[in-house]
Chain A
Amino acid sequence: MADEPATPMNRRALFRMIGAVAGSAVMYQAMSELGHAGESGYSGPIELQGDAKGTSVLILGAGMAGMSAAYELRKAGYRVQILEYNDRPGGRNWSLYGGDSYTELGGFTQKAQFADGLYFNPGPWRIPHHHLALLHYCKLLKVALEPFTQVNYAAYVHAAGAFGGKPKRYREVQADFNGHVAELLAKAANQGQLDDPVSREDKEILLEAMRDWGALDQNYEYKKGLLASERRGWISDAGGGLTSVPTPSDPMAMRDLLDSRLWSAINAGHIYEFQSVIFQPVGGMGMIGKAFGRELGNIIRYNAKVTEIRQDAHGVTVAYQDTHRGGPVQTATAQWCICTIPASILGQIALQVGAPMKNAIDALYYDAAIKVGLQFKRRFWEQDESIYGGITFTDLPNALIGYPSTRYFDDGPGVLLGAYTFGANAFQITAMSPEERVRQSVEWGAQIHPQYTSEFQHGVAVAWHRVPWVLGCAGHWTDELRARHYDNLCAIDGRIVLAGEHASRIPAWQEGALLSSLDAIRRLHQRVLSGGRAA
């Protein structure tokens, strides 16, 4: 902090500093503050022991939270029923395929025309290897997984105002940043400027480490040559026979690199959630929701719009309308209710709970986010640029381009993620028509891949504030809101308990939804076993 007195570094502080400069700390801390870097609290498959005696539970919402609750409670001897607003299972676990139709609020309808086998995930698209609950259910439901590539050294880092708007390869930015910082630290050490905090012996180790980490030469310099090119790549690669002499590439000057701010885009892969290995379901994230839906069968009633949730000492009564067939308001009753309806929607439904839970629901708005899926005639990113999966980052409003981590080398068309944006840019893109969002995404992407212009075929744009059943991408928590409302949101109110990503400390992640649900049913089960009376 600027107002902290500057004190000489001890060794630990120095290495902490190096670690921070080298990579993850800054971003990780920022992400932690946003609640995006929590560890999964999964402790293995849940076992609800004891006789549930056919106690009935009504579950609202067939997303990850609702369906996992239904699955586990049914297994433990409960009678369960789910009411779901959509005509499909999954909620935000969702993939769009060719032939699918999606109508957002305002009545704007998009028809996905992706080629056979291609898809676009408007919501979640990756599963960290430590999201154990989600991985457990994938295995249980026989959902095939494959690696999702987060970091691709051949992908680009781009800023419209840097290097004439020409993108740099991730490997170039990474190598040059590490190299320059290593050189700087080695210089400081060699000039005796680190003598106070670093002992003579450790100084030697530090110098050795800097050479290794930064690809420095014997003079502790990072410069054009074999060492640097082994990291940042070559102008022309080594070959065979008489054409074999490789041409080293030119590192960017440190000043240019710092000014470009491209360094700010090379650390995402260090964040816990984004560390290798990451998975994705074969055929789209929506495969998990579909598998859960198949497993639960007619336990789920689709097209049911909940309009009122009431409770008394004996149970819960939920009023709902059939959005397809119409007709009079219907009711469903049960002894208990697990409500996974997003807070943004639930705040608008007549809900008979106490002020603490109601206030918590009302305190949570949902963030803006947009995603755009673009289909191109061919996989030019692979064929022309050797980019196989991974992510290109840009400071243009589309924020990133995600290349498909599947079906590599396919001759046919390919679908990439053309935009994934939060914040002010997402609000502005949400305000566009779907066609305009797609058109703009193609324009932005063309600044990085000129092939966009001639190869583009078709796009679908999902703006989460326009999604009729969630009104945003995920609940927006701050530390203050959590301190005041989180426990009240999660506590059982009479015969009603909430679950979903919003009732977790891993917001926006499917793992959060599952852990929230498992925690809710564990507490509910205990209450049922202890006499079944609401508190």
Chain B
Amino acid sequence: MKSHRLIALTALLTTALVSARIAAAQEIYAGKFPQRTGEELFQNLCQGCHMPDAQGAAGAGAYPALAANPRLAAAVYPILVVLRGQRAMPPFAESLDDEQVANVVNYVRTHFGNHYKDQITPEAVKTHR
């Protein structure tokens, strides 16, 4: 019994250590986004860099406009960029689920002068993870 208790104590503390370590590492640079709809996600994430009007911005470096952007024609392009990032753009595969990615890609492809008719499904996003 003695060693049983001890093992339990060790296991408890080890588990606590490991999960706390992971939590600490994640909390610093990661985290999930609570928003669900494409519009909410755009307004609480994308517009930070691409700007509220999706026109992008330029300083020493630049953020591309999402408005009227022909590169959005093939849905796979924004899906891959959102999931994996590209150069200065961070990847969001860990912090957005398939439905969130689909929603925000659908939103951007149907707003700001983009009129792409094909809707992306969460299943389609999953295949690119």
Contact = CB atoms under 8 A, between A and B. Distances in A.
B74 interface: no
Interface string B52-78: 100001111111000000000000000
Contact of B48 (A2, A31, A366, A430): A430
Contact of B61 (A26, A29, A196, A348): A348
B44 A33 contact: no
Interface stretch (A186-194, A328-336, A439-447): A186-194
Interface in A321-355: 341, 344-345, 347-348
Contacts of A21: 13
B21 A365 contact: no
A469 interface: yes
B55 to A, nearest CB: 9
B91 to A, nearest CB: 8
Interface stretch (A240-248, A421-429, A489-497): A421-429
Contacts of A367: 29, 90
B60 A423 contact: no
A465 B48 contact: yes
Contacts of B91: 365
Interface in B33-62: 33, 43-49, 51-52, 57-62
Contacts of B29: 34, 367, 422-423, 476
A195 interface: yes
B2 A192 contact: yes
B95 A466 contact: no
Most A CB contacts (10 A, CB to CB) among B18, B21, B33 go to B21
Contact of B90 (A264, A341, A348, A476): A476
A431 B25 CA distance: 23
A264 B23 CA distance: 10
Nearest to B24: A30
B26 to A, nearest CB: 8
B35 to A, nearest CB: 8
B89 A4 contact: no
A187 B15 CA distance: 21
B80 to A, nearest CB: 15
A8 B7 CA distance: 6
Interface string B2-28: 110111011101110110111111111
A469 B27 CA distance: 26
Nearest to B43: A431
B47 A431 contact: yes
B60 A85 contact: yes
Contacts of B14: 1, 4, 6
Contacts of B2: 192-193, 195-196
A468 B23 CA distance: 32
A305 interface: yes
A193 B17 contact: no
A277 B49 CA distance: 37
B45 A427 contact: yes
A85 B58 CA distance: 13
Contacts of A105: 49, 51, 57-59, 63
A17 B45 contact: no
Given A194-B6, A424-B32, A20 B18 contact: no
A472 interface: yes
Interface in A103-148: 105-107
Contact of B28 (A4, A29, A30): A30
B10 A6 contact: yes
Nearest to B35: A428
Q: What interface size band does chain A fall in?
A: 35 or more
B10 A17 contact: yes
Contacts of A264: 20, 23-24
Contacts of B63: 105, 471
Contacts of A188: 5-6, 9
Interface string A1-18: 110101111000000010
Contacts of A20: 13, 17
A185 to B, nearest CB: 9
A465 to B, nearest CB: 5
Contact of A423 (B5, B31, B47, B52): B31
Contacts of B33: 424, 427-428
A345 B13 contact: no
B61 A345 contact: yes
B3 A30 contact: no
B51 A34 contact: no
A188 B8 CA distance: 12
Contacts of A106: 51-52, 57
A27 interface: yes
Contacts of A25: 17
Contacts of B61: 344-345, 347-348, 468-469, 471
Contacts of B90: 365-368, 472, 476
Nearest to B9: A188
Nearest to B7: A6
Given A105-B59, A365-B85, A26 B5 contact: no
A306 B61 CA distance: 10
A416 interface: no
Contacts of B85: 365
A423 B13 contact: no
18 contacts: A2-B15, A26-B21, A31-B24, A85-B59, A105-B58, A196-B3, A197-B6, A264-B23, A347-B88, A365-B88, A366-B88, A424-B32, A427-B33, A428-B44, A428-B45, A431-B45, A468-B58, A471-B63
Given A34-B29, A264-B20, A366-B88, 15 more contacts: A8-B6, A9-B10, A106-B51, A107-B57, A188-B6, A193-B6, A196-B2, A365-B90, A367-B29, A424-B33, A465-B49, A468-B60, A470-B60, A471-B61, A476-B29
Interface of B: 2-3, 5-7, 9-11, 13-15, 17-18, 20-33, 43-49, 51-52, 57-63, 85, 87-91, 95
